[in-house]
Amino acid sequence: MNRWLRQHRYAASTAFGRLIHQPFSSLANILVIALTLAAPLIGWALLVSAQPLVKDLPVNPEITLYLKLDTSLEQAQKLTGDLRQKYADDVLSSTLISRDQAYNELKKNPLWADALSTLGENPLPHSVVLSLKDAPDQTGVAERLASELATTERIERVQLDSDWLKRLDSLLQFVRVALSLLSLCVAVIMIATVFNTVRLQALNQREEIAVARLVGATESFVRRPFLYQGAITGVASSLVAVLLAWLALPLLSDALNRLAASYQQHVQLHLPDSVNLLEATVLIALIAALAARWSVTRSTQF
């Protein structure tokens, strides 16, 4: 056990020494990785902190039901109440717009006033607007309700903003793909930076590694300091990334609050909690260490 601890202590101190003896190169590598890590970290903070604002945005899809012309106002009111009870799990609210109310609203529009004045009677039907609740599959829920409501006796036509729902789904899919690509790019940049750094370090110490092998050093003993070097670089880059994100968030908060003010909201951007940050740091250190192992394995085959 003591031998194992001495070996890892030696590997860690050797890795620190290599980083300190090349301060400019080490700092440049850490800054490159930290800048790439800061981007998804800021995005993470935006998603977590802006969640209350997003929930209040008017994005709930609506279904408009046009009733038959011979439907009375009392029948329309009864139908509105029945639909609210029947689809309580899916419908957030239901609003009845009487034919007289819709007619008066159209008359206020100059584009429709002249056309309506030539008609002898009100041609508009009663209508019911159903606002749906948030759901993982809003498109599927909306299409299912529209299909069921189309067979209701008093309903003449069902209007569903399918195009709006498709655009919303496309936007959400775009965001998911963009975040995935950003995470992939960050991982590739970090792996490439650590790989190249360890490769150059191994080539510079080629003769030292060869001598160590001649005197009986194992492959694990030779490679272990490089693994620590990659892990230390990953941890240092994570800490710098957290610092950069912490400095950037107040500026982003001011910009986001100008948007939130229009919805009577106030958003305070903040970093994720310490547990999540610690887990992310460990993952980054592990990836960096694996990149270092890959590099030193390929670069010390001589």
Using the predicted structure, report yes or no on whether residue 16 has a pLDDT greater than 80.
Answer: no
Please check the confidence at residue 93 and state whether its pLDDT lies above 70: yes
Identify the burial level of 116 via C-beta atoms within 10 angstroms of its C-beta, where 0-12 means exposed, 13-18 middle and 19 or more buried.
middle
Q: How confident is the model at residue 302 (pLDDT cuts 50, 70, 90)?
A: very low
What CA–CA distance (Å, rounded) separates 35 from 238? 9
The predicted model gives 257-286 an average pLDDT of 77
Whether 151 has a pLDDT exceeding 70, the answer reads yes
What mean pLDDT do residues 21-34 have?
A: 81
Under the banding of pLDDT at 50, 70 and 90, the label for residue 159 is: confident
Which of 245, 244, 231, 208 minimizes the C-alpha distance to 281? 231
State the average pLDDT for the chain: 76
Residue showing tokens 């309580």: 88
- Which of 34-43, 195-204, 275-284 is predicted with the least confidence, judged by mean pLDDT? 195-204
pLDDT tens digits, 113-146:
666 667 667 778 888 888 888 776 777 777 788 8
Q: Average pLDDT for residues 29-50, to the nearest whole number?
A: 77
Query: Which has the higher per-residue pLDDT, 9 or 4?
Result: 9
- The better pLDDT of the pair 16, 151 is held by 151
Of 25 and 204, the one with more pLDDT: 25
Q: Which domains can be identified in the chain, with CATH numbers?
A: 2-55+168-299 (no CATH), 62-160 (3.30.70.3040)
Please state the length of the chain: 302
Q: What is the DSSP string of 184-221?
A: HHHHHHHHHHHHHHHHHHHHHTHHHHHHHHHTT--HHH
C-alpha torsion angle, residues 275, 280, 281, 282 (rounded to 10): 90
Give the alpha-carbon dihedral of 238, 241, 245, 246, to 10 degrees.
70
Write the DSSP string, 74-114. Answer: HHHHHHHHHHHHHTTTTEEEEEEE-HHHHHHHHHTSHHHHH
Angle at 28 between CA 26 and CA 33, to 5 degrees: 95
**pLDDT for the residue numbered 175:** 64
pLDDT value at 166 more than 80 = no
pTM of the model: 0.57
Buried/exposed code over 166-179 (b: 16+ C-beta within 10 A; e: otherwise): eeeeeeeeeeeeee
